[in-house]
């Protein structure tokens, strides 16, 4: 059935008889991505499938805005059309048909190279970052904030051209200095000012949040993972906000220009951080040839060497690996709910059911205080508890609590 709230999609044609899904190649919070084939021409494309319901309205509007109005840039993945698959039994689905990037993602490439003790050469890193900056600066001139810049969203075409993808959480600001207040993005790449918006509603940020994410992506390309990737996402957010700006694991391995580029992107005070336009003049990317055909041939050779054929689909997961990831998530969630911990930030999986399970287990053992990183959750015990005795009062325990959240179990 079609929801009236998404009336702006009513005029879209049906994909039936035109595009047919061939294989699931990606799955995430904002939809599924399939390799697809045009039934009329045989052309191959990628199709992002999203539920067309009210819960997805903002995501759909954001994605369509970029694709319909800004995908003509050579560093933005090409938009081939939007279709509405009408379902009489369930929600309708929006199909966004886009260019199929057979070279895979930059993340996959650097991980595959690292698995064989190899690194992406610095001249190719500068080429990739220059191309991403070209795409970002184009979006920023149109007052569009990407908000999810990371290696997985930087794709490579068959001829080693660079494309930005995934605009489901992008946002429009009023002008190039316009501000946003919503904390959203992938934790390890999020800028400190974006994280601050979650705790301090009066805080805001602007287009330079994408520049921070680009600096983290540069580290990801060098080290194959972003900083703090081994940390629980919630703990990582606290550390991003509090710690000094990160660096590559081994700065001496890389040139001063590359280290300087990263440092310029990762200025913690975003008011002092360069814009994407400023970063295009940085010496690390300024000297990339305007005609980079030699670099593309070199990058194309590496793609052929290190990107397995079944992974050359332009997205993060193949259909087989998605099911494996789901199994791992289920096992981690089972482990998270079966054992009891003092700090929930130490868990690998966290959602509402895990949180409630942990708090309930601790409450049953008269443990009313639980840490989540630097957050302290306290549960109303509805009874007198002798936990503040003289020994506790006289102890000089370090203060490590920044926020305090009180919860009441109404069912007790």
Whether residue 48 is annotated as binding a ligand: the answer is yes
Look at residue 61 and tell me if it is in a domain: yes
Q: Is 47 helix (H, G, I), strand (E, B) or coil?
A: strand
134 lies in which domain range? 106-317
Question: How far is it, in rounded angstroms, from Cα 92 to Cα 50?
Answer: 9
Q: Which two tokens stand for residue 27?
A: 């799955």
Nearest to 46 by CA among 95, 124, 115, 99: 99
**Kindly report the CA angle at 140 between 28 and 49, in degrees rounded to 5?**
25
Are 65 and 202 in the same domain?
Answer: no
pLDDT at 348 (0 to 100): 59
The counts of H helices and E strands in the chain are 13, 12
Look at residue 46 and tell me if it is in a domain: yes
Look at residue 322 and tell me if it is in a domain: no
Are 121 and 188 in the same domain?
Answer: yes
Q: Which two tokens stand for residue 264?
A: 């310029």
pLDDT at 308 (0 to 100): 62
Look at residue 115 and tell me if it is in a domain: yes
Measured between alpha carbons, how far is residue 132 from residues 5, 24, 117, 149, 155 in Å?
A: 35, 26, 25, 9, 10
From 78, 98, 118, the end of a domain falls on: 98
Residues 369 and 323 sit within 8 Å (Cβ to Cβ): no
Are 73 and 120 in the same domain?
Answer: no
Nearest to 217 by CA among 130, 141, 138: 130
31 φ/ψ sector (left φ>0, alpha ψ -120 to 50, else beta) = left
Question: How far is it, in rounded angstroms, from Cα 159 to Cα 175?
Answer: 35
From 317, 346, 367, the end of a domain falls on: 317
Q: Which two tokens stand for residue 252?
A: 């001496």
Are 112 and 251 in the same domain?
Answer: yes
Look at residue 172 and tell me if it is in a domain: yes
Span 18-48, pLDDT tens digits = 999 998 887 765 678 999 999 999 999 999 9
pLDDT at 381 (0 to 100): 78
**Kindly report the CA angle at 111 between 140 and 230, in degrees rounded to 5?**
85
Question: How far is it, in rounded angstroms, from Cα 351 to Cα 365?
Answer: 22
pLDDT at 16 (0 to 100): 93
- The list of the chain residues with pLDDT below 70 reads 1-6, 28-30, 89-90, 172-185, 198-202, 308-339, 347-350, 388-412
pLDDT at 66 (0 to 100): 87
Q: Is 378 helix (H, G, I), strand (E, B) or coil?
A: strand
Are 113 and 91 in the same domain?
Answer: no
Are 94 and 110 in the same domain?
Answer: no
Are 263 and 148 in the same domain?
Answer: yes
**Residues designated catalytic:** 148
Span 104-128, pLDDT tens digits = 999 999 999 999 999 999 999 999 9
Are 233 and 262 in the same domain?
Answer: yes
Q: Is 386 helix (H, G, I), strand (E, B) or coil?
A: coil
pLDDT at 87 (0 to 100): 75
Question: How far is it, in rounded angstroms, from Cα 55 to Cα 42?
Answer: 34
Are 384 and 343 in the same domain?
Answer: yes
Residues 62 and 139 sit within 8 Å (Cβ to Cβ): no
Are 268 and 241 in the same domain?
Answer: yes
Look at residue 158 and tell me if it is in a domain: yes
Token match 């759909």: residue?
Answer: 60
Q: Which two tokens stand for residue 356?
A: 């409630």
Are 240 and 388 in the same domain?
Answer: no
Domain count within the chain: 3
Question: How far is it, in rounded angstroms, from Cα 348 to Cα 337?
Answer: 11
List CB contacts of 250: < 8 A, sequence separation 6 or more: none
CATH code, 127: 1.10.510.10
CATH code, 94: 3.30.200.20
Look at residue 153 and tell me if it is in a domain: yes
Question: How far is it, in rounded angstroms, from Cα 246 to Cα 226?
Answer: 9
Question: How far is it, in rounded angstroms, from Cα 113 to Cα 302?
Answer: 9
Look at residue 412 and tell me if it is in a domain: no
Q: Is the pTM of this model over 0.75?
A: no
């Amino acid at each position: 059935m079609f929801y009236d709230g998404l009336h702006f999609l009513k005029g879209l044609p049906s994909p039936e008889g035109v595009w047919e899904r061939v294989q699931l190649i990606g799955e995430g919070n904002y939809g599924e991505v399939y390799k697809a084939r045009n039934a009329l021409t045989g052309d191959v494309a990628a199709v992002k499938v999203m539920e067309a319901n009210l819960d997805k309205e903002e995501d759909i509007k954001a994605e369509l805005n970029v694709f319909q109005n800004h995908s003509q840039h050579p560093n933005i993945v090409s938009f081939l059309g939007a279709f509405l698959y009408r379902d009489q039994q369930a929600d309708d689905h929006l199909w966004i048909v886009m260019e199929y990037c057979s070279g895979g993602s930059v993340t996959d490439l650097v991980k595959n190279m690292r698995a064989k003790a190899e690194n992406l050469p610095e001249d190719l890193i500068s080429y990739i970052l220059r191309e991403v900056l070209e795409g970002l600066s184009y979006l920023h001139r149109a007052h569009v904030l990407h908000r999810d810049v990371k290696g997985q969203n930087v794709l490579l075409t068959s001829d080693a051209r660079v494309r930005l993808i995934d605009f489901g959480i992008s946002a429009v600001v009023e002008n190039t200095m316009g501000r946003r207040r919503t904390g959203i993005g992938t934790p390890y790449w999020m800028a400190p000012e974006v994280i601050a918006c979650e705790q301090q509603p009066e805080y805001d940020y602007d287009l330079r949040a994408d520049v921070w994410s680009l600096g983290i992506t540069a580290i990801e390309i060098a080290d194959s993972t972003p900083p703090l990737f081994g940390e629980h996402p919630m703990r990582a957010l606290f550390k991003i906000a509090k710690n000094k700006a990160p660096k590559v694991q081994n700065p001496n391995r890389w040139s001063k220009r590359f280290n300087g580029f990263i440092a310029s992107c990762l200025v913690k005070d975003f008011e002092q951080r360069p814009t994407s336009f400023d970063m295009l003049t940085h010496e690390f990317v300024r000297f990339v040839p305007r005609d980079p055909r030699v670099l593309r041939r070199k990058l194309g050779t590496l793609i052929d060497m290190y990107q397995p054929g079944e992974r050359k689909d332009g997205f993060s997961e193949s259909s087989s690996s998605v099911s494996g990831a789901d199994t791992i998530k289920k096992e981690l969630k089972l482990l998270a709910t079966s054992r009891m911990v003092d700090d929930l930030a130490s868990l690998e999986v966290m959602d509402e059911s895990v949180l409630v399970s942990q708090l309930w287990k601790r409450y049953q053992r008269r443990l009313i205080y639980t840490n989540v990183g630097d957050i302290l959750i306290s549960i109303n015990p509805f009874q007198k508890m002798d936990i503040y005795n003289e020994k506790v009062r006289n102890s000089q325990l370090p203060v490590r609590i920044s926020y305090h959240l009180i919860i009441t179990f109404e069912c007790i």
